């Protein structure tokens, strides 16, 4: 009796099909995990707004207005800004339908109240950049930069000393959206969070951000590409 068996080519074809199907399943699972994680982070950002919303000073949605360079503020002071340089509107952003992709554009602000004070700053950011670059800076006050994939929040203390506070244990240049907050409490302790996790904690000896005129703030201070959405500043501390 002749026993029929698979040929080598048939076996190879079956193995190839199984490998392709497995790859599709793994890819789909990773997409599902990323989507679920983003929804979790969005829920956390909404929690921050609910907790600190009464002390909101300014919120820039980074959405297109009358022109693709205008930055409109939905906060109480209506502090408007505009992107000076190369930037473009992007879709599929965590907050709303649009946000800004900065390619070295500097975002400037006008109609700013004198001596604007705030204790918390939060924003969404996405980049795949491996180089070190300054994301935003307010002269002699604070600076937020990327350093080898990690975010660094540098704060000037009351006596003028520049205190670097690295966010450890969370790589943020993975081309995924991250929600970042920096906050100073009543004891002059700085807390930094990424996606709801506290990744920085340090005493800095300063009672507020915003000790220098807020008009000095630049976003996209280096000629590099990154995405930013929903930049908010609050009078009160997150902690």
Q: What is the pLDDT along the chain (239 residues), one digit of tens a residue?
A: 555 566 767 677 777 777 676 566 545 445 546 688 899 999 999 999 999 989 999 898 887 655 556 788 888 788 888 777 667 778 888 987 788 888 777 777 777 777 788 999 999 999 988 888 899 988 778 999 998 889 999 998 877 788 899 999 889 999 999 999 999 999 999 999 999 999 999 999 888 887 777 777 888 877 788 899 999 999 999 99
pLDDT value of position 48: 94
Which CATH topology does 36-234 take? Jelly Rolls (2.60.120)
Hunting for tokens 């949605």 — which residue is that?
61
Residue 74, beta-bridge partner list: none
Alpha-helical segments (H) within the chain: 8-52
Domains of the chain by residue range: 36-234
Residue 6: other Cβ atoms inside 10 A: 10
Q: What is the 3-state secondary structure (H, E, C) of 143-188?
A: EEEEECCEEEEEEECCCCCEEEEECCCCCCCCCCCEEEEEEECCCC
pLDDT value for 106: 75
Q: Is 160 left (phi over 0), alpha (psi -120 to 50) or beta?
A: left
Q: Which of 77, 45, 49, 75 is nearest to 60 (CA)?
A: 75
């Amino acid at each position: 009796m002749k026993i029929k068996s698979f040929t080598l080519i048939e076996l190879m074809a079956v193995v190839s099909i199984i490998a392709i199907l497995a790859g599709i399943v793994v890819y789909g699972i990773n997409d599902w995990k990323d989507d679920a994680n983003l929804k979790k982070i969005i829920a956390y950002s909404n929690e921050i707004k609910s907790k600190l919303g009464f002390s909101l000073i300014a919120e820039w949605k980074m959405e297109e207005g009358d022109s693709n360079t205008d930055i409109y503020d939905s906060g109480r002071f209506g502090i408007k800004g505009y992107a000076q340089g190369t930037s473009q509107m992007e879709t599929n952003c965590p907050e709303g339908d649009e946000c800004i992709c900065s390619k070295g554009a500097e975002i400037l602000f006008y109609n700013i109240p004198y001596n604007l004070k705030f204790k918390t700053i939060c924003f969404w950011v996405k980049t795949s950049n491996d180089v070190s670059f300054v994301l935003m800076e307010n002269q002699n006050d604070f600076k937020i930069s990327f350093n080898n994939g990690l975010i660094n929040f540098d704060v000037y203390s009351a006596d003028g000393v520049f205190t670097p506070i690295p966010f450890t244990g969370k790589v943020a240049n993975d081309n995924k959206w991250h929600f970042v907050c920096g906050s100073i409490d009543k004891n002059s302790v700085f807390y930094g969070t990424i996606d709801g996790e506290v990744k920085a904690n340090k005493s800095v000896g300063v009672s507020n951000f915003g000790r220098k005129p807020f008009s000095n703030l630049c976003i996209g201070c280096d000629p590099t590409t990154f995405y930013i959405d929903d930049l908010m500043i609050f009078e009160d501390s997150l902690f």
